[in-house]
Amino acid sequence: MKVVIAIDSFKGSLSSMEGGNAVKAGILAARPDAHVVVKPLADGGEGTTDALTEGLGGERIDLSVTGPLGEPVDAYYGLLPSTNTAIMEMAAASGITLLPGGAKDPLRASTYGVGEMIADAVTRGCRDFIIGIGGSATNDGGIGMLKALGFTFLDENGNDVGEGAQALAKVDTVQTQGRLPELKECRFRIACDVINPLCGDDGATFVYGPQKGVTDDMKQPLDMAMAHFADVTATALGKDLRDVPGTGAAGGLGFAFLSYLNARLTPGIDLILDAVKLEDELADADIVVTGEGRLDFQTAMGKAPVGVARLAKKHGAKVIAFAGGVTKEARACNGAGIDAFFPVVRGVTTLEEAMNPENARANVTDTAEQVFRLM
C-alpha cells in the first residue's frame, strides 16, 4: 500500500512537515509494510516559505531589509541550493503587519524591501523564484521593488520620483539599463489568488486600498496615478498588461512582476503543488492524506487540501483528511474530493491544550493509526 501525505500546517501547533510526519508515524504503527511519502503543503500565503524550505530540504536566509515605511526590518526567505531556487513571501519585507505601530500610510508605503530580498538571492546564485504576494501594506505599483533591482524612475525634470503611491503620478521616464544583469536569467513564479486588474473600480486601489489606509478622497487620484504609471510603462517596455487578471494584486506588485520581470501569476495552491512535484507521486498511490488545522466550508471552496484532493482523484486514489477541528459545513469537503475526514482531538480539552505541539502531534499520530487499522 502506497500512501502520499500532503497536509497543510496546523497553525500555532504543527508545521506542514511536522503534521505529515505525525500522520506517517500513525500509518506505520498500523501498517509497517506501507510505503509512505510525505510532501510539504501550503497555499502560497503565510507559511509557504517555512513549509517549502523545510519540506524540500532548503535553508533559511535571514537578512535586514527596508520595511514598508523605510525602517529596517528583519526578514527571511528560503534557499534551495540544489535548484538555485528562492522561496519568498513579500509580507516578510513589506507586509501590513510590519507597519510601525500599525500606522498605515499608502502614499509612502514601499515594496523596496521585496526587491532587496530578491537582489540578495540573486547574489547567492538563485535564478528561480517562488514568491507569495499576499498581505501587503503597499499600493505603489511595485515601483519600490523595481528600484531596488536597479530600474530607475525619473520625473519630467530628470529627478528620482521617490517611493510609495505618491511617486506614481510623477513618473515621466523609465530607465532599465541599470537593472541587475542577472534578472534576464531569472524565472519568477508568483502565487496570486486574486484576479483584479491594475486600475479601475475592480483594481488595486479601489478594492484593496482601503485596508491599507486609502481614504475615499484618495481613491480616484491614486487610481489615476496608477493608470499613468501603466501608460509610461507601456511606452517604455512596448507592452500594456494592466488589464491582465492579478496585476492589481498587492497594490500593483503583480503588475510590476508581470511587466518588468516577465513573471507568471499562478493560483497559489497550483503553484505549490507543482513546485513540490506532488503529482509525480500520485500515479501509483492508493491513499492520499491531506488536511489542515480546521476543515470548514472555506476548505471546500479551494483551499490547499481540496487542491490535493483534486490531483489525487485524477489518479483514482482515496483521499482522507485530518484536522484539528471540523464544522458542520465541512461536509462540503466530501463533494470536493475528500472521501472522509476525521478530527484529531480525542477528548474534552481546552484550546490551549489542543494546540500544544506535543499534544497535537500525539493526537494526529493516534488518530491516523486507528483509521489505517481499517485499511
Helices (H), the chain: 16-30, 48-55, 91-94, 112-123, 143-148, 216-237, 253-260, 268-275, 278-282, 297-300, 304-314, 351-355, 357-372
242-251 per-position pLDDT tens digit:
999 999 999 9
Low-confidence ranges of the chain (pLDDT < 50): none
pLDDT in tens, 39-73: 999 988 888 999 999 999 999 999 999 999 999 99
pLDDT value at position 298?
A: 84
Distance in angstroms (rounded) separating the CA atoms of residues 55 and 1: 23
Residue 126: per-residue pLDDT:
97
- In the 8-state DSSP scheme, what is residue 37? E
Q: Do the strands 287-295 and 318-326 form a parallel or antiparallel pair, or are they unpaired? A: parallel
pLDDT by residue (tens digit) across 264-305?
A: 999 999 999 999 999 999 999 999 999 999 998 888 887 899
pLDDT score at 55? 92
What domains lie within the chain, and their CATH numbers?
2-41+278-372 (3.40.50.10350), 48-269 (3.90.1510.10)
- Write down the pLDDT at residue 264: 96
216-237 helix and 253-260 helix, angle to the nearest 10 degrees? 0
> Is there a contact between 73 and 98 (Cβ–Cβ < 8 Å)?
yes
Q: How far apart are the C-alpha atoms of 321 and 339, rounded to whole Å?
A: 8
Written in H, E and C, the secondary structure of 328-350 is HHHHHHHHHCCCEEEECCCCCCC
pLDDT of residue 84: 95
Task: Tell me the whole-structure pTM to 2 decimals.
Answer: 0.89
**Which pLDDT score is estimated for 31?**
96
